Amino acid sequence: MSDLPRKAVARTAKLAALPLGFAGRTALGLGKRIGGRPAEMIAAELQQRTAEQLFATLGQLKGGAMKLGQALSVFESALPEQVAGPYRAALTKLQEAAPPMPVKSVHAALTERLGKDWRDLFEEFDDKPAAAASIGQVHRAVWHDGREVAVKVQYPGAGEALLSDLTQLGRFARLLGPLVPGMDIKPLITELRDRVSEELDYGLEARAQAAHAREFTGDADVVVPDVVHHTDQVLVTEWLEGVPLSEVIADGTREQRDRAGQLLARFLFSGAARTGLLHADPHPGNFRLLTGGAPDGPAEKWRLGVLDFGTVDRLPQGLPPEIGTVLRLTLEGDAEAVHELLRDEGFVKPGIDLDPGAVLDYLLPIIEPAQVEEFTFTRDWMRAQATRIADPRSPAYQLARQLNLPPAYLLIHRVTTSTIGVLCQLGATVRLRDEMEAWVPGFAAGSRSQETPA
C-alpha cells in the first residue's frame, strides 16, 4: 500500500466487490448445506470469512471505510464466540494501524501546510509513522523547544475519500447488518457522513483537545495531551506514552481490566459534565493507560490517556438531564412517567401507541449495570442484549422498531453503546452507578431506592 487511494472509481470498485463476495459465500454455503454440513457450522464459517474480507478491505482503504470499521470494532463483543477470535484480531489491527503514506508524500504535505522550512520547527522528526489511521497518520518528533510531540498529518484527498466511501457503504449497509447483531448500520454511516467536515478540520479538533487538556490538567485519573501547534490539516500535540487499551483487552490482569474499565466509564460521564464536550470516538485505539513508569505496579495508580478529539458532541450543559431522569425513573419502576418523558423527548412519535409496561421491560435489561453497586461487563451479556433486540420473534425487537432516536441523542447513544462494547471487551467490573450519580444530571435523586444485590 503506498498512498491513500483517492480516485472515487478505484475506491468504489474495491467496496463494490464486498457485496459480491458476500453473495458468493452465501451461494457456497447453500451448496455445502445441500451436501450435508450443519447449518450452524456453515453460518459461522461464512460470517468469519465475511468479517475477514470486510475489515481487510476497510483497513487498506483508510478514509470513511476504515472509520466505519473502527466504529463497528467496539461491537465485536456481540458476535458469536466461535467467530469472534479471528474477527477480534482483524479489528485490533484496524484500531491501531493502517498502511502508511510514503515518506515523500508526508514531506510534501508538511511543506504545503507548514511551509518549506517546516523542519526548523522540529529538533527531530521520525519519518516512520507511529500510527496510521482513517484520515491521517501520526509521526513522533521533538519540537523546537525540546518537547516530545505527536505530529498528525492528514492524508491528501482525505475528504474526497471519506465522502466516496460512506456513500458507497451506505448503498449496501443492509448486507453488513448480520456482522453486528442488533445494530442498524445505515444510521451510523449517515451520522459519520454528516460529520465529515468536522473530522477534516484539525482546527476544530485542536480547540476540543485544548479544552479537555485544560480541564484535566493535574487530574488523578485522566490525561489529555496539550496542543502545541496546528493548521487546518496538521496537528501537533504533546506525546503521550502509555499502554494501548487494546493490549489490556488482550492480556491485562483482572485488576488492570477493572481499573481501565472504571477510568473509561468515568471519562465517558465526567468529560461531558466538565468540558461541555463529549468525546465521540471511543474505540480502543484512542486510549492509553499511563502506568507511571511501572507497568507491573498497582493498577489503581494507572491513569487514562485520551487521544483523538476529531469528533465531539457539543453539550454546553453536559448530558441532557432527561437521560438521567429516564434512567432513574426506570430503576424506580415508574412505567407511566418513563413513557411520558420518552414521548415528550421524541423517542415515541405522535400516533405510536406503546404499552408503558412493555417499554419498561425493554429498558430494564439494558440498564442492568446501573441497578447494582458494581457490574461485570461480559461478552455473554453483550451478546444476550444484541440477540434480544435483533431476534424478530422477541417482544424487544418489535418494540424497538416502534421507538425513534431523535437527532439530538444520536451521537450520545452511539458513544454510550460503544463504550459499553469496550467495557465488555475488557470484561471489567465497574462501579457504573457511582459515575452516573456523580456526573449524569437527573440520575442521582432516588436512584438507590431500587437496590438490587450485586
- Beta-bridge partner residues of 236: 151, 229
What number is the average pLDDT over the span 240-252? 93
Q: In this model, does residue 90 exceed pLDDT 70? A: no
The Cα 85–Cα 74 span in angstroms is 14
State the pairing for strand pair 277-279/136-143. unpaired
Nearest CA-CA partner of 154 in 122, 121, 110, 118? 110
pTM over 0.85? The answer is no
Degrees to nearest 5, angle at CA 95 with 14 and 201: 80
Phi-psi category of residue 138: left, alpha or beta, with phi > 0 → left and psi -120 to 50 → alpha: beta
- The cell numbers describing 140, all together, are 513522533
Mean pLDDT in residue range 147-166: 83
Segment among 4-8, 180-184, 221-225, 366-370 with least mean pLDDT:
4-8
CA–CA distances in Å: residue 198 to residues 97, 179, 241, 428: 22, 28, 27, 32
3-state secondary structure of 454: coil
Most confidently modeled range among 152-161, 369-378, 396-405, 408-417? 369-378
pLDDT at residue 379 tops 60 = yes
Q: Quote the mean pLDDT of the chain.
A: 80
Per-residue confidence (pLDDT) for residue 27, from 0 to 100 = 38
| CA pair distance 365, 371, nearest whole angstrom | 10
Q: Which of 66-80, 179-193, 332-346, 347-361 has the lowest mean pLDDT?
A: 66-80
Residues 112, 104 contacting (CB under 8 angstroms):
no
> Running DSSP on this structure, what letter comes out for residue 100?
P
For the stretch 179-188, pLDDT in tens is 555 556 677 6
Residue given cell 487546518 in the structure block: 232
The pLDDT of residue 1: 36
Eight-class DSSP state of 146 = S
- Per the model's pLDDT, the better-predicted residue between 321 and 406 turns out to be 321
Greater model confidence, 392 or 30: 392
Please give the average per-residue pLDDT across 124-147, as a whole number: 91
pLDDT at 198: 81
Q: What is the pLDDT of residues 284-293, one digit of tens each?
A: 889 999 998 6
Higher pLDDT: 413 or 296? It is 413
Rg of the chain over all Cα atoms, to the nearest angstrom:
22
The pLDDT value given to residue 210: 98
Q: Which three cell numbers stand for residue 388?
A: 434480544
**Adjacent-strand bridge partners of 238:** 149
Q: What is the dihedral of CA 87, 40, 384, 344, to 10 degrees?
A: 90
The alpha carbon of 304 is separated from its chain's Cα centroid by a whole number of angstroms, namely 16
Closest to 281 measured CA to CA, from 205, 375, 340, 378: 205
pLDDT, tens digit, for every residue of 157-196?
777 777 776 776 666 666 555 555 555 667 767 777 777 7
Average pLDDT of the segment spanning 217-221:
96
Q: Is residue 174 a contact partner of residue 157, using CB atoms and an 8 Å limit? A: no
Please tell me the predicted confidence (pLDDT) of residue 93: 56
**Which pLDDT does position 63 carry in this prediction?**
52
CA separation for the pair 84, 51 (Å, rounded) = 10
- Report the share of the chain in percent with pLDDT over 70: 70
Instruction: Report residue 36's pLDDT band, with 50, 70 and 90 as the boundaries.
Output: very low
Interatomic CA distance for residues 279 and 268, integer angstroms: 8
Stretch 253-279: mean pLDDT, rounded?
A: 97
Q: How far apart, in whole angstroms, are the C-alpha atoms of residue 128 and residue 103?
A: 8
- Least confident among 85-89, 219-223, 373-377, 435-439: 85-89
What is the rounded average pLDDT of the residues 210-233? 97
Assigned C-alpha cell, 35: 451436501
pLDDT bucket at 81, cuts 50 / 70 / 90: low
For residue 322, give the nearest of 409, 407, 405 by alpha carbon: 409
- Residues, the chain, total? 454
Structure confidence at residue 406 as a pLDDT band (50, 70, 90): confident
Strands (E), 1-121: none
Confidence of residue 52 (pLDDT cuts 50, 70, 90): low
Helices (H) and strands (E) in the chain, counts: 19, 13
Mean pLDDT in residue range 395-418: 87
Beta bridge partners of 227: 237
What pLDDT, on the 0 to 100 scale, is given for residue 397? Answer: 84
Mean pLDDT of 264-291: 94
CA-based nearest residue to 125, from 116, 115, 112, 138 = 138
Mean pLDDT to the nearest integer, 60-64: 52
Query: 295-326 pLDDT, tens per residue?
Result: 667 888 899 999 999 989 999 999 999 999 99
Q: Give the DSSP H or E segment for 46.
A: helix 39-61
